[in-house]
């Protein structure tokens, strides 16, 4: 199976169409509610579509393989830095404009001042769609594993982790359910207040890590799986 087909198993048309709708809506809201200077590139905006968004995602993934210090250098015509596929796929200014308005949710339904808000509300629709695909596209063998993964992130984020012994010292913590071969079956992004997405057990007091384990395994009950975890999860409560 071609690699593109594997990618489409997780980033389905529904995921790409979500980005198209939310990005175009946010751009329209921004333009209608702000005074745009005549020299601003925002004046060049026009609604994106499915094919263009798919190409945008492809370039974003390629940037993780072909590393350059700045975004502009990906479109450089200098023979030392030139990588032709970027300019051939999409003009630089158009890429930056889509990146500027890239959105995953309806901002009018989110209240940034609400102390009880979902901290992942801005990207929650995207996360939910990808999680559904992780569970649906692969039937796991007997042995599965749950562990933490750290994603390097140095920006401003209230739930960013700092673990000085790790290579990615500033990072976002993700609880992952995987097979022995590393195929991702489900995941949870740790953001402190996770009551909206974790299972609840009224008669038991579980920690967030314990509830994360129970939530990740909730899609695979009574199927004969053997779950492997480290000592972080092996508590009396879980036993």
Instruction: Tell me the pLDDT of the chain (239 aa) as tens digits.
Output: 567 888 889 989 999 999 999 999 999 999 999 998 999 999 999 999 999 999 999 999 999 899 999 999 999 999 888 999 999 999 999 999 999 999 998 877 777 777 777 778 888 889 999 999 998 998 899 999 998 888 888 788 877 777 777 776 778 889 999 998 889 999 999 887 777 788 887 767 788 788 888 899 988 888 889 999 888 888 787 77
> Are 142 and 224 a contacting pair, CB within 8 Å?
yes
Q: Cα(111)–Cα(113) distance, rounded to whole angstroms?
A: 5
Taking the complete model, does pTM exceed 0.75, yes or no? yes
Q: Cα(97)–Cα(48) distance, rounded to whole angstroms?
A: 10
Using only C-alpha atoms, the chain has a radius of gyration, in whole angstroms, of 21
């Amino acid at each position: 199976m071609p690699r593109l087909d594997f990618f489409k198993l997780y980033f389905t048309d529904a995921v790409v169409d979500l980005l198209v709708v939310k990005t175009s809506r946010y751009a329209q809201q921004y333009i209608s509610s702000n005074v745009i200077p005549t020299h601003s590139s925002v004046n060049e905006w026009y609604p994106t579509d499915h094919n263009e968004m798919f190409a945008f995602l492809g370039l974003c993934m390629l940037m993780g393989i072909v590393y350059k210090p700045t975004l502009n250098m990906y479109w450089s015509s200098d023979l030392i830095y030139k990588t032709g596929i970027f300019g051939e796929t999409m003009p630089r200014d158009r890429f930056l404009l889509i990146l500027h308005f890239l959105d995953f949710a309806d901002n009018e339904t989110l209240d940034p001042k609400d102390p009880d808000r979902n901290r992942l509300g801005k990207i929650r629709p995207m996360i939910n769609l990808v999680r559904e695909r992780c569970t649906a596209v692969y039937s796991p063998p007997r042995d599965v594993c749950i562990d933490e993964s750290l994603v390097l992130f140095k920006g401003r984020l209230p739930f960013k982790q700092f673990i000085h012994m790790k290579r990615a010292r500033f990072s976002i913590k993700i609880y992952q359910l995987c097979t022995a071969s590393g195929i991702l079956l489900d995941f949870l992004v740790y953001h402190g207040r996770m009551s909206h997405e974790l299972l609840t057990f009224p008669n038991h007091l579980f920690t967030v890590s314990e509830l994360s384990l129970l939530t990740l395994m909730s899609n695979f009950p009574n199927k004969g799986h053997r779950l492997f975890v480290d000592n972080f999860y092996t508590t009396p409560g879980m036993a």
